[in-house]
């Protein structure tokens, strides 16, 4: 087991730049998730850690050891591929045993280790089958068993659940997480699925356009997004964003045109450099309430609008509210019914708003 | 992670050796073509483009060149037509097994040696033992299949017989690639099979036409064993490759090499664009 | 019945007759007695099956058949192995060098080898192999190794990259990936290449013609020799052609799908 440190990784493919300087410290035994849209560089980062690609600049450190230019075999890593990459011509047993055979482990030891890995993944009944006789979920277990059988220092997973059906995916999430806790291996997990990231990761590194946008626990990522990208990428439905002008002379408020938000002392102090400038205000749909449903003693800004569209999802209801030229999305419990065309006043806590610099996108508070 | 350059060459080495010999051959050909190497000049002297001058003024070569080009035209046109005819016929059948079996059946002449093909057809064209007997019986009278210039046409038809199945196979592959949903939406619109074939399937099979044309042309340029087996070195069926062989046997090496260069140049015009296009397909990049 | 099926059946039956007619005559002609050969056209079935000619000719073909097998089988095996190794190198290293080599391989495959007559003879002579079986094999290898490499690249390019990279991460070296992962997955592609080269080299006439003297070193030469010496006795020619074609024909009948796959790959550049 080791900690993994990435220092200034840059990777180009021809003219396109895949990574623009990646710095990341991964603790020993940690489950870290690289989260981002496709093409953000998360898989490239993983492949560099695996040793499948060499970075053009930067270094990869396993503990104190610089492994940047070491081939995969000298890193003691293992990887679970999106396609599982289970070899079709080998029985499950031989698939799992392969990395041990390559390392010249004695047969007795191989049998023991294969049995151990197979039992952990509950595929010990399938050892003598060929991959084509297995379901997708079972093949995935074989891939994971093959990855942990060598007790790697670092376990890498590239979207391992994306080819499973929705039900199985939910089940495997918790299983993989439990498995990782049990064997305590440093795990780097790539996904574009924010729910997967939030439920599995000890920490999440959100990536976009070849850069890490924010690293933090799922709570930090959700509650304190560092910039508009993270704020918009994590959370469903997406956070509401609108432009507003900061007015600090006279009554201190955010002027969004159709409505204003009065500022308390702390907020006003935080925004003192932005007087008369435009900022981006963000508020999550789940923190806006129709006034009649709001917690009793809630005080905060109120916005009045007309209901444009209602999505009844069963457990939740998503209301699309038109406020002048602005469009707000509100998420409430599914037990309440609203009609299109109705007027609605929503209220939200001032402590739940996010304010971002309009130019840099960075969070001000 | 990519393979190291050292390992790359270890793996590539055997193929590299034989490939290098082949390219060595090409360059050696060019060298000989620029000399006067022959029975009369056993020690080659550099004579520049002299050999090509001799070559282009050689009536025998002019005829061989013309005939080869005509062979290309016949095989490309008739081979494509027959291939398309066979492919559309097979495409109408439902059973994939029957389709595959019939495709293989029409391809089988390619699994025979051209020598064997030549022997079979030489006798089919025989005025006393071949199909002329049937034709005479029908009152059509005998066709002098192998007399004079007739021989060229007869043998080019035989080459169509050999390669039409290959062309059909390429067309069928193109047909199978036509998106089922396009065909099905046309069927829903009430189009009949004829309309579907002529308006949708065949126009969407340009790739079949392209590849089939390239290969039929290449096969025609390489024509040697078939006319050689049937009529030996008959002046009416002498192709470019036969000319090269002729000059080699009579030890006019510089002429053989110069003619070989012409063959390589003509086929390169066909092959290089195709190989470049193929390369993009074969090498899958990230 | 629908018109398209009528069309289909008419085309297949009419052309089918033309396609089968030569081989039908070939078989009938080679089992006729001498008197029937003198008096009947090739397509008339014999009144009595006479196998003496076939037996006689088969006996004469024994040595050339053996020689051909001695040349062709190693050529098919070696060129397939060399092709596999080269293809693996090309798949595992993507760079300017491998692209260029690949292009050269493709051009070599489609270049008419007949045009290389003079240098081929020269090369084989310079190795002291003119008029020998290894000489024919060398001539074949020069031409069929690039072809096998191209076929193998085409078959290998459809192997999912993850299968190979999973072995890389697991610490396998290149030889062990090649042997334990790529070869077993490639199975049918190897058979296709092998069968394809086996058939086309067995049927080759030009290369043995220019690299040897006489007729006994290769089967196609031997078959050809009957054209000159048998006059109007087509039964002898047919018997030689039939016996000499049996190996490729039998392979085609039973393993034709592999030959077709090879043809298809060379034609379209994709795995059918």
- A237 preceded by a cis bond (ω within 30 of 0): yes
Is the residue at B96 inside a domain? Answer: yes
Using CA atoms, how far apart are residues B192 and B196, in angstroms rounded to an integer?
6
Question: Which DSSP string do the residues of A208-262 spell out, in sequence order?
Answer: ETTEEEEEE-HHHHHHS-SBHHHHHHSSSSPPEEEEEEEE-SSS-EEE-SS-EEE
Backbone angles phi, psi at A234, to 5 degrees: -100, 130
Backbone angles phi, psi at C36, to 5 degrees: -70, -35
Residues of CATH 1.10.3720.10 domain(s) within chain C?
Answer: 62-268
Residue A357's contacts (CB-CB under 8 Å, 6 or more residues apart) are: A274, A279, A280, A363, A364
Question: Which of C:46-75 have CB within 8 Å of B?
Answer: none
CATH code matching the domain that covers A240-357, chosen among 3.30.70.2190, 2.40.50.140, 2.40.50.420, 3.40.120.10:
2.40.50.140
Structure token digits, residue C254:
């039973």
By the 10 Å C-beta count (0-12 exposed, 13-18 middle, 19+ buried), A266 is classed as exposed
Let me know: does B146 contact B158? Beta carbons within 8 Å.
no
| Residue B286: predicted pLDDT | 36
| Residue B285: predicted pLDDT | 46
Helix (H, G, I), strand (E, B) or coil at A103: coil
Q: Domain holding B82: CATH number?
A: 1.10.3720.10
DSSP B88: H
Does B124 lie at the interface with C, CB-CB under 8 angstroms?
A: yes
| Residue C272: predicted pLDDT | 45
Find the distance separating the first CA and the last CA of chain C, reported in whole Å. Answer: 32
Using CA atoms, how far apart are residues A214 and A205, in angstroms rounded to an integer?
6
How far is CA C53 from each of CA A147, B256, C29, C239, C243, rounded to the nearest angstrom? 67, 40, 10, 7, 11
Q: Residue A242's closest CA among A360, A356, A363?
A: A356
User: Per residue of chain C (272 residues), what is the pLDDT tens digit?
Assistant: 577 888 899 999 999 999 999 999 999 999 988 888 888 888 888 888 889 999 999 999 999 999 999 999 999 999 999 999 999 999 898 888 888 888 888 888 888 888 889 899 999 999 999 999 999 999 999 999 999 999 999 899 889 989 999 999 999 999 999 999 999 999 889 999 999 999 999 999 999 999 999 999 999 999 999 987 767 788 899 999 999 999 999 999 999 899 999 888 887 776 54
Contact A98 C172 (CB under 8 A): yes
Contact C99 B279 (CB under 8 A): yes
DSSP A160: T
User: Over chain B (286 residues), what is each successive 10-residue block's mean pLDDT?
Assistant: 86 94 92 92 90 94 96 96 94 91 94 94 90 85 85 95 95 88 83 83 84 92 93 88 94 94 91 75 52
Residues from chain A that touch B286, judged by Cβ atoms under 8 A, are: 13
Q: Residue C272's closest CA among B170, B195, A77, A355?
A: B170
| Residue C271: predicted pLDDT | 52
Let me know: does A206 contact A213? Beta carbons within 8 Å.
yes
Using CA atoms, how far apart are residues C265 and C259, in angstroms rounded to an integer?
10
Backbone angles phi, psi at A165, to 5 degrees: -75, 165
| Residue C193: predicted pLDDT | 95
Using CA atoms, how far apart are residues C104 and B263, in angstroms rounded to an integer?
18
Contact C171 A103 (CB under 8 A): yes
Number of structural domains found in chain B = 1
Residue B169 belongs to domain spanning: 60-282
| Residue C38: predicted pLDDT | 84
| Residue C227: predicted pLDDT | 86
Let me know: does A364 contact A282? Beta carbons within 8 Å.
no
Domain extent listing, chain A: 4-224, 240-357
| Residue A80: predicted pLDDT | 94
Structure token digits, residue C226:
């009957």
CATH number of A4-224: 3.40.50.300
What ipTM, to 2 d.p.?
0.91
Let me know: does A212 contact A41? Beta carbons within 8 Å.
no
Using CA atoms, how far apart are residues B168 and B107, in angstroms rounded to an integer?
8
Report pLDDT digits (tens) over B240-285.
999 999 999 999 999 999 999 999 999 988 888 777 777 666 654 4
Contact C22 B120 (CB under 8 A): yes
Please name the chains neighbouring A, where neighbouring means 3+ C-beta pairs under 8 angstroms: B, C
Residues from chain B that touch A53, judged by Cβ atoms under 8 A, are: 1
Residue C18's contacts (CB-CB under 8 Å, 6 or more residues apart) are: B161
Contact C169 A72 (CB under 8 A): yes
Can you point out the beta strands (E) in B156-267? none
Using CA atoms, how far apart are residues C32 and C38, in angstroms rounded to an integer?
10
The bridge status of strand A343-348 relative to strand A288-290 is antiparallel
| Residue A214: predicted pLDDT | 96
Using CA atoms, how far apart are residues B128 and C147, in angstroms rounded to an integer?
43
The answer to whether domain C62-268 has CATH 1.10.3720.10 is yes
| Residue C13: predicted pLDDT | 96
Is the residue at B37 inside a domain? Answer: no
C99, C159, C171, best to mutate vs chain A, most A CBs in 10 Å: C171
Looking at the complex, report in whole angstroms how far the Cα of residue B165 sits from the nearest Cα belonging to chain C. Answer: 10
**Among A77, A88, A90, beta carbon nearest to C169:** A77
Task: Name residues of chain A where pLDDT drops below 50.
Answer: none
């Amino acid at each position: 087991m080791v900690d993994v440190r990435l220092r200034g990784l840059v990777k180009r493919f021809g003219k396109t730049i895949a990574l623009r300087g990646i710095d990341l410290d991964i603790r020993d035994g940690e489950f870290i998730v690289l989260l981002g849209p496709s093409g953000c560089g998360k898989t490239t980062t993983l492949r560099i850690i695996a040793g499948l690609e060499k970075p053009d600049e930067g270094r990869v450190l396993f503990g104190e050891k610089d492994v940047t230019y070491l081939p995969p075999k000298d890193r003691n890593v293992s990887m679970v591929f999106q396609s599982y990459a289970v070899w079709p011509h080998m029985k499950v047993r031989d698939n799992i045993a392969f990395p041990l055979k390559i390392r010249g482990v004695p047969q007795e030891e191989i049998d023991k280790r294969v049995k151990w890995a197979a039992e952990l993944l509950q595929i010990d009944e399938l050892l003598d089958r060929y991959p084509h006789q297995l379901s997708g979920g079972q093949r995935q277990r074989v891939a994971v068993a093959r990855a942990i059988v060598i007790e790697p220092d670092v376990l890498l997973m590239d979207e391992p659940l994306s080819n499973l059906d929705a039900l199985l995916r939910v089940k495997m999430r918790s299983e993989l997480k439990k498995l990782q806790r049990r064997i305590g291996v440093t795990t780097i997990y790539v996904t574009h699925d924010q729910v997967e990231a939030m439920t599995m990761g000890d920490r999440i590194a959100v990536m976009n356009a070849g850069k890490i946008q924010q690293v933090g626990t799922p709570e930090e990522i959700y509650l304190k997004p560092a910039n508009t990208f993270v704020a918009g990428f994590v959370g469903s439905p997406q956070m509401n964003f609108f432009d507003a002008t900061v007015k600090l002379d006279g009554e201190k408020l955010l002027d969004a045109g159709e409505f204003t938000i009065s500022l308390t002392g702390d907020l006003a102090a935080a925004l003192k450099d932005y007087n008369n400038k435009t900022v981006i205000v963000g508020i999550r749909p789940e923190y806006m309430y129709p006034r009649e449903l709001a917690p009793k003693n809630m005080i905060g800004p109120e916005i009045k609008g007309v209901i444009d569209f209602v999505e009844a999802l069963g457990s939740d209801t998503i209301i699309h509210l038109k406020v002048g030229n602005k469009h707000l999305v509100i998420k409430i419990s599914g037990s309440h019914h609203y009609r299109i065309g109705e007027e609605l006043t929503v209220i939200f806590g001032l402590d739940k708003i996010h304010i971002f610099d309009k130019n840099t996108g960075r969070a001000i508070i | 992670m990519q393979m190291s350059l050292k390992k790359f060459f270890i793996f590539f080495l055997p193929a590299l050796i034989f490939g290098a010999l082949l390219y060595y051959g090409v360059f050696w050909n060019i060298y000989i073509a620029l000399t006067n190497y022959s029975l009369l000049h056993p020690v080659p002297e550099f004579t520049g483009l002299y050999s090509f001058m001799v070559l282009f003024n050689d009536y025998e070569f002019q005829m061989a060149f013309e005939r080869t080009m005509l062979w290309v035209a016949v095989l490309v046109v008739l081979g494509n037509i027959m291939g398309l005819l066979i492919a559309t016929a097979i495409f109408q059948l439902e059973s994939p097994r029957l389709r595959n079996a019939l495709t293989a059946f029409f391809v089988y002449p390619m699994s025979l040696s051209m020598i064997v093909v030549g022997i079979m057809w030489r006798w089919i064209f025989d005025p006393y033992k071949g199909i002329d007997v049937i034709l005479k019986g029908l009152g059509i009278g005998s066709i002098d299949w192998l007399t004079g210039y007739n021989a060229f046409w007869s043998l080019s038809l035989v080459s169509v017989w050999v390669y039409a199945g290959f062309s059909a196979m390429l067309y069928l592959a193109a047909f199978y690639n036509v998106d089922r949903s396009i065909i099905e939406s046309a069927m829903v619109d009430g189009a009949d099979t004829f309309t579907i074939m002529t308006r949708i399937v065949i126009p969407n099979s340009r790739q079949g036409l392209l590849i089939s044309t390239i290969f039929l042309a290449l096969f025609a340029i390489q024509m040697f064993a078939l006319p050689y087996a049937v009529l030996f070195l008959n002046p009416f069926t002498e192709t470019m490759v036969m000319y090269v062989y002729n000059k080699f046997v009579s030890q006019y090496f510089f002429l053989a090499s110069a003619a070989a260069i012409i063959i390589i140049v003509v086929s390169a015009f066909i092959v290089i664009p195709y190989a470049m296009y193929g390369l993009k397909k074969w090498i899958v990049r990230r | 019945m629908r018109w398209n099926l009528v069309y289909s059946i008419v085309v297949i039956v009419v052309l089918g007759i033309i396609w089968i007619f030569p081989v039908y005559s070939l078989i009938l002609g080679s089992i006729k007695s001498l008197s029937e050969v003198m008096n009947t056209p090739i397509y008339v079935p014999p009144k009595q099956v006479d196998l003496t000619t076939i037996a006689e000719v088969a006996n004469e073909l024994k040595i050339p058949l053996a020689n051909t097998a001695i040349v062709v089988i190693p050529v098919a095996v070696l060129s397939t192995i060399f092709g596999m190794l080269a293809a693996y190198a090309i798949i595992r290293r993507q760079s300017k060098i491998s692209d260029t080599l690949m292009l050269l391989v493709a051009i070599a495959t489609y270049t008419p080898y007949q045009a290389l007559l003079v240098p081929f003879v020269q090369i084989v002579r310079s190795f002291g192999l003119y008029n020998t079986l290894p000489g024919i094999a060398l001539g074949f290898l020069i031409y069929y190794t690039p072809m096998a490499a191209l076929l193998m690249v085409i078959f290998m390019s459809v192997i999912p990259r993850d299968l190979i990279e999973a072995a890389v991460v697991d610490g396998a070296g290149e030889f062990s990936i090649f042997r334990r992962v790529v070869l077993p997955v490639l199975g049918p592609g190897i058979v296709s290449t092998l069968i394809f080269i086996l058939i086309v080299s067995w049927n080759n006439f030009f290369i043995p013609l220019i690299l040897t003297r006489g007729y006994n070193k290769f089967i196609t030469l031997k078959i050809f020799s009957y054209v000159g010496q048998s006059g109007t006795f087509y039964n002898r020619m047919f018997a030689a052609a039939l016996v000499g074609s049996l190996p490729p024909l039998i392979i085609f009948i039973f393993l034709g799908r592999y030959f077709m796959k090879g043809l298809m790959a060379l034609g379209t550049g994709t795995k059918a």
